[in-house]
Amino acid sequence: MTAEGIVLVTGGSRGIGAATATLLAEQGRRVVISDIAPEPLAGTQVVMWPAPFDVANESAVVSGIADIEAAHGPIAGLVNAAGVFGKMHPIERVRMDQWDREVNIDLRGTFLVARSVGVRMAARRQGAIVNVASVAGMTSGPIHAYTAAKAAVIQITQTLAAEWGRSGVRVNAVSPGFTRTAMLEAGIASGALNKKWLESPTAMNRLVEPIEVAQAISWLLSPMSSGVTGINLPVDAGYIAGTTWAAYGGLREAPNA
Ligand SMILES: NC(=O)c1ccc[n+]([C@@H]2O[C@H](COP(=O)([O-])OP(=O)(O)OC[C@H]3O[C@@H](n4cnc5c(N)ncnc54)[C@H](O)[C@@H]3O)[C@@H](O)[C@H]2O)c1
């Protein structure tokens, strides 16, 4: 990413997308957000794209990206943060309409936006793309479509990095662990999620903050990571490192100071 051009953040009105858009704007980037349920980011310089499009809708994505570039200039950085969480169900009760929704938004949507923007970046010989995957795509869990969709996001990140590497476009993924967004907080408040169960498998015994995911995304968009493409960077407070310790009796508490 150079100082030329905007950064587009899909799903930028809430959660990880909003934290990322806010941070990038504070760092001096020109940032445009798009979201199916658009809300401006009050108190920031972030521009909200006023014509929402569904990232899973091919023709809407193609025309939406063309319109954004026509209005705001070339997209030099893309953050694919639009996504929906997986519904947690035993396998017998997985509804295929729900399966299709999760795969369509989380995988197809990521691919469609990355393709629409990436071919434009490749023609200009510059750009950086960050896809938001999940530790769920690297582990198993009773969220059958979501885990598969996120694993596939990690896979297409590599494929797109190889596709556009010679055209000067870098493509990477971040994989957040359980991240303290408003939606996660609401799930904890309603009792649908148990905070201790989310925290205790992590090496650091805590949730991830949205700003921590944003900082990793900012690095992957910036020239500071100019030699990095095709990777998947977990930002998970050590969820992947810590989760297997249950088999050995669990993680050790810190010794008393
Ligand atoms: N919060 C977590 O614990 C966590 C963990 C791992 C990965 N993630 C991933 O991070 C990404 C962002 O999630 P979040 O936690 O910030 O959720 P969020 O719900 O706070 O934000 C997601 C945003 O995407 C938008 N969106 C949803 N469907 C869309 C569509 N079809 N087209 C355009 N926009 C759409 C929503 O309106 C919302 O503003 C998702 O891909 C999610 O799977 C989140």
DSSP assignment of the chain, as one string? --SSSEEEEETTTSHHHHHHHHHHHHTT--EEEE-SS----TTS-PEEPSS---TT-HHHHHHHHHHHHHHH--EEEEEE----PPP---GGG--HHHHHHHHIIIIIHHHHHHHHHHHHHHHHT-EEEEEE--GGGTS--S-HHHHHHHHHHHHHHHHHHHHHGGGTEEEEEEEE-SB--HHHHHHHHHTSS-HHHHHTTSTTSSPBPHHHHHHHHHHHHSGGGTT--S-EEEESTTHHHHGGGGGGT-PPPPPP-
Give the per-residue pLDDT at 28. Answer: 98
Which overall architecture, per CATH, does domain 6-178+211-239 show?
Answer: 3-Layer(aba) Sandwich (3.40)
Closest CA to 123 of 78, 59, 75, 54: 75
Parallel, antiparallel, or unpaired for β 75-80 and 127-132? parallel
157 Cβ below 6 A of ligand 1: no
Q: What is the pLDDT of residues 60-73, one digit of tens each?
A: 999 999 999 999 99
- Give the position, in ligand 1's atom list, of the atom nearest the Cα of 182: 20
Residues of the chain with pLDDT under 70: 1-3
Q: What's residue 88's pLDDT?
A: 87
Q: What is the 132 CA–ligand 1 centroid distance (Å)?
A: 9
Q: Which atom of ligand 1 is nearest to the CA of 39?
A: 39
- Is the distance from the beta carbon of residue 184 to the nearest atom of ligand 1 less than 6 Å? yes
Cβ-proximal residues to 190 (8 Å cutoff; 6+ apart), any chain: none
Ligand 1 atom with the smallest distance to the CA of 35 is 34
Active-site residues: which are they? 146
Q: Output the pLDDT for position 145.
A: 97
Candidate of 14, 153, 235 to mutate for ligand 1, largest count of ligand atoms within 8 Å of Cβ: 14
Residue-level pLDDT at 89:
87
User: Is any ligand 1 atom within 6 A of the Cβ of residue 201?
Assistant: no
Cα(250) to centroid of ligand 1, in Å? 31
**Confidence at residue 252, expressed as pLDDT on a 0 to 100 scale:** 95
Ligand 1 centroid, distance to 105 Cα (angstroms): 10
Q: Verify whether ligand 1 is closer than 6 Å to residue 212 (CB atom).
A: no
Q: Return the residue matching tokens 């960050």.
A: 130
29 token code pair: 């980037």
Burial classification of residue 239, based on how many CB atoms lie within 10 Å of its CB (0-12 exposed, 13-18 middle, 19 or more buried): buried
Over the stretch 95-150, which tens digit does the pLDDT of each residue have? 999 999 999 999 999 999 999 999 999 999 999 999 999 999 999 999 999 999 99
> For residue 241, what pLDDT is reported?
98
The reported pLDDT for the residue numbered 256 is 87
- pLDDT of 2 reads 45
Which pLDDT value is given to residue 4?
Answer: 78
106 alpha carbon – ligand 1 mean position (Å): 9
pLDDT at position 87 = 87
C-alpha 253 to ligand 1 mean position (Å): 33
- Answer whether 51's CB lies under 8 Å from 243's CB: no
Report the candidate in 102, 99, 83 with the shortest Cα–Cα distance to residue 91: 99
Smallest CA-to-CA distance from 231 within 172, 150, 163 is with 172
